[in-house]
Homo-oligomer: A and B are copies of this chain.
């Protein structure tokens, strides 16, 4: 393994972490970083660095990293910008393998001194082959290593999962994290790239493609400096793991105190979307749309084709899902004779028995629902199933009735659901289904259908279409 690769690995999996600029004062970011490491139960050594303290939060504190005699793998730097070059030299001398540079005041400020400083520290880091996350970042979290190297201890409330977020915005990283908490979605890593001293989207994609804990790579981007490098990197890994992106900042005058023009924005969006797609990156719009797609891509089989069966406990949600399917490139499958025969056997003529299927009349009989779902899943005309069940007092036991069938089914086709009840009623059963990989559940039929569409889009990327 080359030094760059091994240092990237050490950056995300350090045995010892120094916080340069640690503080016992809760008005300082250095305080919150120490809190993140301790509250996140980092199992390695935490070394606060501060020349004016002996102890911070009960941890022995050193005046400088040189004064700490054992090995340090990762340094988190929260000092003022002017002090950073000296600290980087010390890090280089100490043999530190990775740096998270939270400090702001480099290239992003108007003053050319900021850009100079940026170049200066980049030169030091590059000479020593030290990968740097930042500057001007909230930090990064490697959930599987219990490493919260950020100034937000609350990131450690997130579940461990298989989605890696690489983001250009700290605000959006916090947003996605907090929304994910409410959706019970877990992450492998969250990385705030900040102003990208030497670790950019491309470097992170290279790293994450070989990260066994990451199944889906999720990017948030505002501007892009090296589009070719990103596109070529993504293309090189095409098909290995899904890469999805949310790109904002499409309007030309967003940061000017002036009225903007919608036309140019739409145009720019289209250009980006096309380029991403060519590189095998799936572009999606919106916080929830991005998380919904990541959830499906991280835990569902991919459909072989666009033909979808919509099975609903009630007609309305089925029609709603069909509307989305048809505007997002999916097709409403025609059943084979056996399936249609089975459905006709269990449902009276008054129900919708073709696709979408209104299973309402089978409510009281979960074995009928089960047989319909089974026949549809086994139908070779069907590539994916959207199952929609709204709770009613009269169908309260339906989900329990489907349990043994769903849990023991060999999952080869995506089963995307909106199984919805008042809070607390079906939550546990849905969680069990999701944990077992039996299905992926969404809060509305529209979002279920859009997640299915994302799976199909990824299949087309895999097939080079």
* Chain A positions near chain B (C-beta within 8 angstroms): 27, 29, 32, 35-36, 104-105, 108-110, 138, 151-154, 157, 167-175, 178-179, 181-182, 220, 222, 248-251, 253-262, 265-266, 286-288, 312-320, 322-323, 326-327, 331-335, 340, 349-350, 352, 354-356, 358, 364, 388, 390-394, 418, 420-423, 425, 443-446
State in angstroms the CA–CA spacing of A265 and B322 once bound together: 11
By Cβ-Cβ distance, the 4 closest A-B pairs, closest first, are A171-B314, A169-B316, A171-B316, A172-B316
Q: Is the CB of A178 within 8 A of B110?
A: no
Q: Is the CB of A175 within 8 A of B322?
A: no
Q: Is the CB of B444 within 8 A of A261?
A: no
CB pairs A–B below 8 angstroms (18 shown): A27-B364, A169-B316, A169-B317, A171-B390, A174-B392, A174-B420, A178-B421, A179-B420, A181-B422, A248-B323, A254-B323, A257-B354, A257-B355, A260-B331, A260-B332, A261-B316, A288-B443, A288-B446
Partner of A316, one of B108, B222, B420: B222
Most buried by B among A181, A220, A317, A422: A422
Beyond A169-B314, A181-B422, 17 extra complex contacts between A and B, CB < 8 Å? A36-B393, A105-B350, A151-B394, A154-B391, A167-B316, A171-B315, A174-B392, A175-B445, A181-B423, A248-B323, A249-B319, A251-B326, A254-B322, A257-B322, A265-B323, A286-B446, A287-B446
Given the interface contacts A222-B319, A316-B169, does A444 sit within 8 Å of B288 by beta carbon? yes
State in angstroms the CA–CA spacing of A34 and B222 once bound together: 56
Partner of A420, one of B175, B258, B318: B175
State in angstroms the CA–CA spacing of A351 and B154 once bound together: 25
Q: How close is A328's CB to chain B, nearest CB, in angstroms?
A: 9
Q: How close is A221's CB to chain B, nearest CB, in angstroms?
A: 10
Residues of B close to A175: CB separation below 8 A: 316-317, 390, 418, 420, 444-445
Residues of B close to A286: CB separation below 8 A: 444, 446
Considering the complex, give the chain B residue whose CB is closest to the CB of A220.
B316
Given the interface contacts A105-B350, A323-B250, A334-B259, does A171 sit within 8 Å of B422 by beta carbon? no
State in angstroms the CA–CA spacing of A316 and B354 once bound together: 45
Q: Is the CB of A391 within 8 A of B421?
A: no
State in angstroms the CA–CA spacing of A416 and B393 once bound together: 36
Given the interface contacts A178-B420, A356-B254, does A331 sit within 8 Å of B105 by beta carbon? no
Residues of B close to A153: CB separation below 8 A: 393
Residues of B close to A104: CB separation below 8 A: 350
Residues of B close to A333: CB separation below 8 A: 257
Most buried by B among A319, A335, A340, A352: A319
Considering the complex, give the chain B residue whose CB is closest to the CB of A35.
B393
Q: Is the CB of A319 within 8 A of B152?
A: no
Partner of A261, one of B32, B179, B220, B358: B358
Q: Is the CB of B255 within 8 A of A356?
A: yes
State in angstroms the CA–CA spacing of A284 and B35 once bound together: 45
Q: Is the CB of A249 within 8 A of B323?
A: yes
Residues of B close to A421: CB separation below 8 A: 154, 178
Q: Is the CB of B265 within 8 A of A327?
A: yes
State in angstroms the CA–CA spacing of A349 and B114 once bound together: 13
Q: Is the CB of B253 within 8 A of A332?
A: yes
State in angstroms the CA–CA spacing of A331 and B393 once bound together: 46
State in angstroms the CA–CA spacing of A445 and B220 once bound together: 14
Given the interface contacts A110-B349, A266-B327, does A315 sit within 8 Å of B257 by beta carbon? yes
Partner of A319, one of B151, B257, B287: B257
Residues of B close to A154: CB separation below 8 A: 391-393, 421-422, 425
Partner of A332, one of B248, B254, B355: B254
State in angstroms the CA–CA spacing of A383 and B249 once bound together: 22
Q: Is the CB of B326 within 8 A of A248?
A: no
State in angstroms the CA–CA spacing of A326 and B262 once bound together: 6
Q: Is the CB of B350 within 8 A of A109?
A: yes
Residues of B close to A172: CB separation below 8 A: 314, 316-317, 320
Residues of B close to A316: CB separation below 8 A: 167-173, 175, 220, 222, 248, 261
Residues of B close to A340: CB separation below 8 A: 257
Most buried by B among A151, A172, A390: A390
State in angstroms the CA–CA spacing of A390 and B393 once bound together: 38
Q: Is the CB of B392 within 8 A of A152?
A: yes
